[in-house]
């Protein structure tokens, strides 16, 4: 067998997970362990039995000359159980056959853990000699009770998982970084990984988060959501910033739901299809970058050629940022994410520095930055929202110079997750909304209150809630907003 199931008994079960076989999150002291097959384990005496069953399954499948895929897990498990029944009792045969199947037609411990990708965000290997770790949406980082047999077994399973990319981890190629389905795989072996081998498998997937979840998890309140809804209606450009795993893409998918359904939207992201719109939002084109040798920048340029009303870019981190901002300069607003800390001027500095290098004449298209903060393993929230007002030469002394003859004044509209009422009196979002809709500032402020109340009432009274797109469309259909 290419991996071992370790003894992890003795803790308190605090959560259940997994689909193929029982998997439990066990707390021992203050530490959490993600245990597959808990509370059982594979004993040393059963290892030889497992290897025999695995050899029999491999021989049977090879004799049929068929392509081995994970779709054969069920069949392989039946074959393994039949072989195991010759040596162990039925209960153990059923238990052990699960692991044999994953080790023959799956990706070993990787495919076991990927069965629970609704809870697992990332699979981490720091060394073949150490237990595999996972980062879960609820408990944060947990050790598991799974470990590779050796470096060769690690490499074999990584290559099975990465096979569709036609890249192989080997002495000639000791580092790979590939996308397979909704998983992003980065793996290294010696000489670059001093521990012998290391890997991170980031599990992607749909980021279609309902408003009830966002508010229930304290990620955002309805006043802030109503303000962002107004800002999107006003056509403001928004950058969602934060550290890795702070919830940027989740929030991007949420606020993009407020884009009016009549707009033509083009989304650009890496190989993972994380941004989903409601089925009733028909006028959406989704483009991939980093696939078939097409870069994110090339796809942003292609997106602008499709005459969109708005573009949504999963993340900017290179030269594609220039084209996103240039497109806004000719009338195509954007929503995107980037890595940055909670510093409004730091966002500008990062955007203007290598490798993004946005020019001074384009940086003034930045209207809003929204900063996400991770406050716990499964807790992310909007920490702050800043508005940028770009100043004329006569006004420059009132703001901060950023170089290239540009100066900016920054207002904090949201602080510690709460909307600052006083800042709304001079809000750029309110001002732009008034100009677009031809309404007074007083009417726009009342509109914000009405939208917040509508969202709050919908959350309190309706189960299940419609999608954000449908909720916004329903509100507009009433002849308001």
Q: What is the CATH number of the domain that holds 421?
A: 3.40.50.300
Residue 249: pLDDT band with limits 50, 70, 90: confident
Q: Name the least confident of 33-37, 280-284, 326-330.
A: 280-284
Q: Using CA atoms, how far apart are residues 467 and 257, in angstroms rounded to an integer?
A: 8
Q: How confident is the model at residue 342 (pLDDT cuts 50, 70, 90)?
A: confident
Cα–Cα distance for residue pair 57/358, rounded to 1 Å: 57
289 and 161 co-located in one domain: no
Q: What is the mean pLDDT of residues 99-125?
A: 91
Which of residues 97 and 291 earns the better pLDDT score?
97
Listed residues 162, 181, 203: the one ending a domain? 203
Residue 28 shares a structural domain with residue 115: yes
Instruction: Work out whether the CA dihedral 93, 4, 1, 67 comes out positive or negative.
Output: positive
256 and 177 within one domain: no
Q: In this structure, are 276 and 368 located in the same domain?
A: yes
What is the average pLDDT across 27-56? Answer: 86
Instruction: Please give the average per-residue pLDDT across 321-332, as a whole number.
Output: 94
CATH number at residue 122: 3.30.450.380
Q: Are 73 and 188 part of one and the same domain? A: yes
Nearest to 299 by CA among 314, 288, 285: 288
pLDDT of residue 47: 87
- 409-461: per-residue pLDDT in tens? 999 999 877 888 788 888 999 999 999 999 999 999 999 999 999 988 888 88
Report the alpha-carbon distance of residue 191 to residue 281 in Å, rounded: 50
Query: Where among 177, 203, 229 does a domain terminate?
Result: 203
Same domain, 369 and 440: yes
Average pLDDT over residues 152-168: 91
Q: What is the pLDDT of the chain when averaged over all its residues?
A: 86
Do 456 and 393 share a structural domain? Answer: yes
pLDDT band at 311 (very low <50, low <70, confident <90, very high): very high
* Beta bridge pairs of residue 285: 266
Give the count of domains, the chain: 2
Q: Of the given ranges (60-69, 381-390, 440-449), which has the lowest mean pLDDT?
A: 60-69
Q: Residue 476 has what pLDDT?
A: 81
C-alpha torsion angle, residues 331, 336, 339, 342 (rounded to 10)? 80
- At residue 378, the pLDDT reads 59
Distance CA 297, CA 280 (A): 29
Residue 18: per-residue pLDDT: 64
Q: What is the pTM of this model?
A: 0.77
Residues 238 and 194 in one domain: no
Q: Quote the pLDDT of residue 217.
A: 63
Contacts of 281 (CB under 8 A, 6+ apart): 259, 261, 265, 469
Indicate if 140 and 253 belong to the same structural domain: no
What's the average model confidence in pLDDT over 186-212? 80
Q: Is the pLDDT of residue 17 over 80?
A: no
Q: For residue 246, what pLDDT is reported?
A: 83
- Give start and end residues of each alpha helix (H) in 125-256: 151-161, 211-216, 222-233, 248-256
Domain hosting residue 41, numbered range: 3-203
Q: Which residue has the tokens 């699979």?
A: 123
Over residues 164-175, the pLDDT tens digits come to: 888 899 999 999
Whether 144 and 249 map to the same domain: the answer is no
Q: How many angstroms separate the first and last alpha carbons of the chain?
A: 62
- 121 and 142 both lie in a single domain: yes
What's residue 481's pLDDT? 53
pLDDT at residue 395, as a whole number: 63
Q: Last residue of a domain, which of 203, 233, 266? A: 203
- % of the chain residues with pLDDT over 90: 49
Q: Is the peptide bond before 464 cis (omega within 30 degrees of 0)?
A: yes
Identify the band that residue 197 occupies on the pLDDT scale cut at 50, 70 and 90.
very high
- The pLDDT value given to residue 278: 60
- Clarify whether residues 186 and 226 are in a common domain: no
Q: For residue 318, is pLDDT > 90? A: yes
């Amino acid at each position: 067998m290419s991996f071992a199931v370790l003894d992890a008994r003795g803790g308190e079960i605090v959560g259940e997970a997994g689909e193929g076989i029982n998997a439990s999150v066990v707390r021992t002291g203050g530490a959490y362990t993600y245990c597959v097959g808990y509370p059982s384990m594979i004993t040393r005496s059963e290892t030889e039995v497992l290897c025999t069953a695995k050899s029999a399954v491999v021989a049977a499948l090879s004799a049929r000359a068929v392509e081995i895929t994970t779709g054969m897990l069920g069949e392989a498990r039946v074959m393994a159980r039949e072989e195991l029944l010759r040596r162990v009792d039925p209960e153990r045969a059923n238990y052990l056959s699960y692991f044999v199947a994953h080790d023959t037609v799956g990706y070993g411990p990787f495919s076991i853990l990927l069965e629970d990708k609704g809870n697992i965000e990332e699979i981490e290997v720091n060394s073949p000699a150490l237990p595999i770790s996972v980062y879960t949406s609820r408990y944060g980082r947990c050790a598991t009770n799974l470990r590779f047999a050796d470096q060769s077994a690690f490499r074999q399973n990584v290559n099975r998982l990465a096979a569709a990319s036609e890249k192989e981890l080997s002495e000639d190629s000791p580092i790979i970084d590939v996308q397979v389905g909704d998983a992003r795989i980065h793996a290294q072996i010696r000489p670059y990984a001093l521990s012998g081998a290391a890997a991170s498998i980031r599990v992607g997937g749909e980021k279609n988060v309902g408003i009830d979840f966002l508010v229930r998890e304290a990620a955002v309140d309805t006043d802030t959501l109503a303000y962002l809804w107004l800002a999107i209606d006003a056509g403001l450009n928004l950058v969602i910033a934060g550290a890795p795993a702070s919830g940027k893409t989740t929030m991007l998918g949420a606020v993009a739901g407020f884009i009016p359904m009549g707009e033509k939207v083009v989304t650009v992201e890496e190989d993972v299809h994380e941004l989903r719109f409601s089925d009733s939002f028909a006028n959406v084109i989704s483009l991939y970058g980093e696939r078939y040798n097409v870069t994110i920048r090339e796809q942003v340029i292609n997106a602008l050629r499709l005459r969109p009303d708005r573009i949504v870019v999963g993340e900017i981190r290179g030269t594609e940022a220039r084209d996103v901002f240039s497109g806004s300069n000719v009338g195509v607003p954007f929503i995107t994410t980037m890595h940055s800390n909670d510093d409004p001027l730091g966002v500008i500095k990062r955007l203007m520095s290598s490798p993004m290098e946005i020019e001074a004449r384009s940086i003034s298209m930045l209207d809003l930055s929204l900063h996400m903060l991770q406050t716990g393993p499964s807790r992310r929230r909007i920490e702050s929202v800043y508005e940028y007002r770009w100043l004329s030469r006569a006004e420059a002394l009132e703001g901060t110079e950023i170089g290239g003859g540009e100066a900016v004044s920054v207002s904090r509209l949201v602080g510690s997750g709460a909307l600052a009422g006083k800042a709304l009196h001079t809000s750029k979002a309110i001002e732009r909304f008034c100009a677009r809709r031809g309404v007074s500032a007083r009417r726009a402020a009342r509109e914000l209150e009405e939208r917040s109340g509508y969202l709050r009432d919908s959350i309190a009274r309706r189960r299940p809630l419609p999608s954000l797109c449908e909720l916004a469309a329903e509100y507009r259909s009433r002849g308001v907003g």
